[in-house]
Amino acid sequence: MIRAGQALLSLMVLGGCAGLDGGWVSPRAGGSTSEAVQVAQATYEGGDYTQAAALFERASQADIKSVPALLGLGRSYTALGQYIRAENALTRAHTLAPRNTDVLNELGFLALSQKQPRRAIEYYDAALQTSRRSLPALTGKAVSLDFLSRYDEAQVVYREALGWYPTDFALLSNYGLSQVLSGQIGEGVRVLEELLHDPVKGNAVRQNMALAYVLDDRDADARAVLAGVVPAATIASMITYYRKIRVDYKAGKPIGYLVFN
């Protein structure tokens, strides 16, 4: 879910799906009301999550019923890996606004961050009950299903979402990876290779492509797609791990938990 660039799972762009920083990428939504929240949000978007958390803390203390402040606080703590604090903030926001799709989507993302895909699906389904076309919820649900190796179900969700958002980068990237994981390597690689040419986000699919190549016994191509972008030592360790995944893949075993762990 492109999550404004946050790292979450080892392979997803969200998403996604796999970013080179090891994160899935996902489309995000969220509003801000007060000037203090706007400043905090700008800080968050600038990547300073520690300072953003401090600013959102002040905003939420100044207005203890501010859902945007609590939402931003939850996002910031999720980005910092402080999941208990993130959940406390988001639970409070959910209590104040139980049908708020941004809050539900963030709770889903938090669950995925903690490798809890079944719990994430519950939040995404709740968001979709309120907003059937919620892009973060559709992306997050599909990614959660891929995590559980429920690829056919995931691809139904991806195709539904692509019916509304046919050119969305994160959706297409995640869909391509899902196809690869389900054995449709040719179709998935075709999607990912085309996305590689995106002038802004193209590099975000390289890790997904490397995995696809290794699963297809194309280790040299996997190294080539990562060369110059990922450090050589990291490439070596990635290829080694992907080869381990390939063993189960060739044996027809579920590999979602290995990919997104």
Around Cβ 211, how many Cβ atoms within 10 Å?
29
Measuring CA to CA, how many Å separate 63 from each of 33, 56, 59, 69, 124?
11, 10, 6, 8, 27
Nearest to residue 192, comparing CAs of 170, 161, 159?
Answer: 170
pTM: 0.87
The DSSP 8-state label assigned to residue 7 in this structure reads -
Burial of 246 (0-12, 13-18, 19+ CB in 10 A): middle
Q: Express each pLDDT in 184-213 by its tens digit.
A: 999 999 999 999 999 999 999 999 999 999
pLDDT at 5 over 80: no
| CA-to-CA dists, residue 166 to 16, 83, 97, 171, 194, angstroms | 15, 33, 31, 8, 14
**Beta bridge partner(s), residue 230:** 227
pLDDT tens digits along 228-248: 999 999 999 999 999 999 999
First to last CA, the chain: 16
